[in-house]
Structure 1
Amino acid sequence: MTTRRLRLGMVGGGEGAFIGAVHRIAARLDDQYQLVAGAFSSRAEVAARSGAALHIEPARCYATWQSMAEREAAREDGIDVVAIVTPNHLHVPVARTFLAQGIHVICDKPLGLTLDEGRALADDIARSGCRFVLTHNYSALPMVREARTRVANGELGEIRSVEVEYLQGWLNERVELTDNKQASWRADPALAGAGAAGDIATHAWQLAAFVSGMLPEALRGELLTRVAGRQIDDEVFAEMRYASGARGRLWASQVATGYENDLRLRIVGTRASLAFRQQQPNELTILPHDAPASVVTRNGQGISAEVALACRTPAGHPEGYLEGFAQIYREAAQLIRGEAMPLLPGIADGIAGMQFIARLRQSSEQEGAWVAWA
């Protein structure tokens, strides 16, 4: 078993990109990776400038991701794993290329554009023997994992309802018509595939499934475009029906005026309920049927031993968004080294997210009719 830092490459994430910097911070936080190569932009001059700014050897700063995969695989000191931080339309093509070269993959969400390409990628992963990790970072937050543990232990009793929402307001106007790089590709159907459904509703979807341990037997919903002229959905409403009799609701909006990144989860059971809000990531509220409500804090008294292992600082010192990504990267390194990490989001989560979008689109096209999950 290797104890050296893993050699990391990156596709995308160059000059002016947001999520690439987040992934690089996450990879550094536990000192498990060294960024040694990249194809940081489809524009050669931007790729070169980005590589120089990140202190990458010029010979390992590539103009295309195809040449990067081929040349890194041929090196004795080639990369062990690649981080894919491109617009959505490239996630699957880039991943398939690196998997074919025997290189592990850490990919930003959503998985891609369509359910079919997700299933094809799953076949490639199985053939390659490589690891594939999807960065649903919220599921790595300690208090989210504490919530999952309490549901799995039966503390809530029988689940009656699951409610999740993710509200943003940054696309309340046609920001994509400005020089905002993030808005320009996220509002382009060819590059993003889905709008709010892919960008934030898949986060909400995965969070609800991760904590509850349930997928629905049927769902219905609407994909809406609130801002005139926009070519992609910017608000999502969905209802879920579970085999157990539980019901669920999901609301995701990028046009919720005044909201920032307000991701909330509530699960109601017969014995207790719980509530989590991403903007207060160090707290989990527990509401028992026959006792006062309590707030459990990250690394505080009463949290599960396995959750405490995911905490980096003492109670009262906040951890949040970046540490969630870092936990994914830490556990991905352990997975690549041969240690089992069952909580890591991977291809199954990615396919479920694409299936959610596909079923939601199907229902929306049928004026909100219930559609079977399977």
Structure 2
Amino acid sequence: MSSPRKIRMGMVGGGPGSMIGPIHRAAANLDGQIELVCGVFSSKPEVSRRLGRELFLATERCYASFEDMMEREAQLSPDERMDFVAVVTPNDLHFPVARLALQHGFHVLSDKPATLNFSEAEQLAQCVKESGLLYGLTYTYAGYPMIKQARDMVREGGLGRVRKVLVEYPQGWLSQAGIEDESKQAEWRLDPARSGASTCVGDIGSHAAHLGEYVTGSAINAICADLGAVVESREMDDDATILLRFENGARGVLIASQICAGEENNLKIRVYGEAGGLEWNHTDPNTLLFKPLDRNAQIIRAGGPEMTPLAAANCRTPGGHPEGYLEAFANHYRNFAGQVRARLENRAPTESEADVPGLPDALRGMRFIESAVKASASEQKWYSLPDIPFLQESTS
């Protein structure tokens, strides 16, 4: 058996001015399991090479385009080439990069949403199926230990049958007109050619929807949506209120907004069942509040004795030592690297390694975004989300 080694990562995107690129790199590096070996970080070759040098990459592995990167990496020996590609570009490049990586034999870990539209998501599913390779998505908030704790408690019946889901995600950074002229992040998110059909739902509403599905273990199957552009002269939506119905019969409300002036990143989820409720807030991510019907509320803390094995496996520090956004991101990277390592070692992944959002989440996420836009434009009160043939075939 060969000696253990780090999992080798390539990156597309995340160059100068990127908000998410440095976060992805820090998260990938946190546990010492992954090594960044190559990349194309900008559409401008010299900018890409300059950042590559700053990251101490070999000059010959700082590529001018992702097409060149895939072709040249595939020509390297198995002992040298990257194992997977991290895709951290604006939305319009998520699918082209992922498709080419899969076609050249590389696993893919992509920022969300998976693609620019649902049609691309269906093509992505076919590419993953044909390649037999791994595909993961960094739905960040599912990486938090206490979100995994909440999911486990629901699965174990601690709430009884789930009845109600309330998830809200208010931000304020798009509150003013003209911000797209000052911010690279706002500029592409407000451009439908690069962000897709929705700004608010695509950017943060999809996170909220995924969190609701992840914790409850049930997919959203119908919605009543009201999307709008609150800021004058803006074409893309910056605010959304969506009523939800889940496959398990639960009802819910999703509020996502980027024009809540004064808000930073105030994600919150509450789930209620027959026997009690759970509450988690991103501003205090180490705490999960359990509110049983027949006794006093209980505070469950990260690192504490009541954590489930999955939640505990995604904690790094003893109780009372804060873990946050980078660690949640890092959980996805470490667990995905574990899946890659499991392939190399010809073994099944552990429960924690397997717990990374993947292709089903990609398909449901894109379905939700496009359905929210269509439902909002429709006079029909309830809009049923279309079936996803690929998922039905894979479970039959």
Q: Under a length normalisation based on structure 1, what TM-score does the superposition of the two structures give?
A: 0.97
Aligned to 1:356: 368
Equivalent residue runs for 1:33-182 within 5 Å: 33-76=34-77, 77-182=80-185
Q: Deviations over 1:248-307 (max 9, x none)?
A: 110100111111001100001110101000111000000011100111000112111231
Residue type of the partner of 2:273? G
> How many Å separate the matches in 1 of 2:241 and 2:183?
26
Q: CA deviation at 1:245?
A: 3.2
Q: Under a length normalisation based on structure 2, what TM-score does the superposition of the two structures give?
A: 0.92
Q: Do residues 22 (structure 1) and 26 (structure 2) align? A: no
> How many Å separate the matches in 2 of 1:250 and 1:285?
20
Q: CA deviation at 1:242?
A: 2.9
> How many Å separate the matches in 2 of 1:244 and 1:133?
25
Secondary structure of the corresponding residue to residue 217 of structure 1: strand
Residue type of the partner of 2:220? P
Number of residue pairs the alignment of both structures matches: 374
CA contact (8 A) 1:175 1:183 kept: no
Give the ranges of 4+ consecutive aligned residues of structure 1 lying more than 6 Å apart after TM superposition: none
Q: Do residues 10 (structure 1) and 14 (structure 2) align? A: no
Q: In the superposition, relative to structure 1, how do residues 177 and 331 fare at CA in structure 2: closer, same or farther (>3 Å)?
A: closer
Q: Deviations over 1:212-232 (max 9, x none)?
A: 011133111022111112231
> How many Å separate the matches in 2 of 1:33 and 1:217?
37
Q: Deviations over 1:189-222 (max 9, x none)?
A: 1111120111100100000000001113311102
Secondary structure of the corresponding residue to residue 337 of structure 1: helix
Residue type of the partner of 2:339? L
Pairing partner for 1:183 from 181, 186, 191: 186
> How many Å separate the matches in 2 of 1:217 and 1:83?
30
Residue type of the partner of 2:363? I
CA contact (8 A) 2:218 2:248 kept: no
Q: Do residues 211 (structure 1) and 215 (structure 2) align? A: yes
Q: Deviations over 1:110-154 (max 9, x none)?
A: 111111100110110111111111001110100000000000000
CA contact (8 A) 2:87 2:109 kept: yes
Secondary structure of the corresponding residue to residue 16 of structure 1: coil
Pairing partner for 2:254 from 229, 233, 250: 250
Aligned to 1:335: 339
> How many Å separate the matches in 1 of 2:122 and 2:242?
24
CA contact (8 A) 2:168 2:208 kept: yes
CA contact (8 A) 1:7 1:35 kept: yes
Identity within the alignment, %: 43
Q: CA deviation at 1:96?
A: 0.2
Q: CA deviation at 1:348?
A: 0.8
> How many Å separate the matches in 2 of 1:368 and 1:258?
34
Pairing partner for 2:270 from 266, 280, 287: 266
Secondary structure of the corresponding residue to residue 272 of structure 2: strand
Q: CA deviation at 1:175?
A: 4.8
Q: Deviations over 1:6-55 (max 9, x none)?
A: 11111000112111101100111011111111110001221122111111
Unaligned stretches of 5+ residues in structure 1: none
CA contact (8 A) 1:186 1:192 kept: yes
Q: Deviations over 1:157-188 (max 9, x none)?
A: 11110110111000001353333111111111
Pairing partner for 1:285 from 266, 285, 289: 289
Aligned to 1:275: 279
Q: Deviations over 1:297-324 (max 9, x none)?
A: 0011211123112110010000010000
